[in-house]
Amino acid sequence: MSNLIAKNPVAKHNYNINDTIEAGIVLTGTEIKSIRNGRVNLKDSYASIQNGEVFIHSMHISPYEHGNIFNKDPLRDRKLLLNKNEIRRLVGLIKQKGYTLVPISLYFKGSFVKVELGIGTGKKLYDKREDLKKKDAEMYMKRHM
C-alpha cells in the first residue's frame, strides 16, 4: 500500500478478516479533492453486491469547500471496480458461507484511489472480549520488560 488515506478503525475489531481484495472506486472531481485533503471516514461503511456490481455504502466524504454546485451527497453509494471473476467469487462466498464485505482502508496507488475490502465473518461479543484481553496482556508484558 502506498499513501494511506484512511483506515476503518472498527473493521478488525468487529470482524474476523479471512481474505482481502483491492478494488478501484468511482468518484467525482470534488470527492477526489476532498480525499486528498484527508476528509474521508470509513467507520460505518460496508460493501454489498447488487445486480452483479459491488457498491460501498455509508462511506462519508466531506463536501469540498470550494466545490459549490459540483459537490455530491457525502454518504452516497459509490461503485467499486472489480472484474467479473472477482465479483463471481465474492457472490459465492457471501451466499454460501455467510461472509461480509468490509472496507478496511482507502489509499492512493499512483494517482488512483483504491479500497482494500476485507472478506470476513462478524465476531461475537465474547470473541471481542478475548481480543481485548490479549491486547491488554501484550501491553502489560511490553510495559514491564
Residue 4 neighbours by CB distance under 10 Å: 11
**What's the number of domains the chain is made of?**
1
CATH of the domain at 20: 2.40.280.10
Q: Kindly report, residue by residue over 62-100, the tens digit of the pLDDT.
A: 887 776 766 666 678 889 999 999 998 888 888 878 788
Q: Kindly report, residue by residue over 109-133, the tens digit of the pLDDT.
A: 888 899 999 888 887 877 788 888 8
Residue 1 clears pLDDT 60, i.e. is over it: no
pTM: 0.79
Buried b (16+ CB within 10 A) or exposed e, 22-37: bbebebbebbebbbee
Mean pLDDT across 31-45: 86
The residue range of the domain holding 22 is 4-143
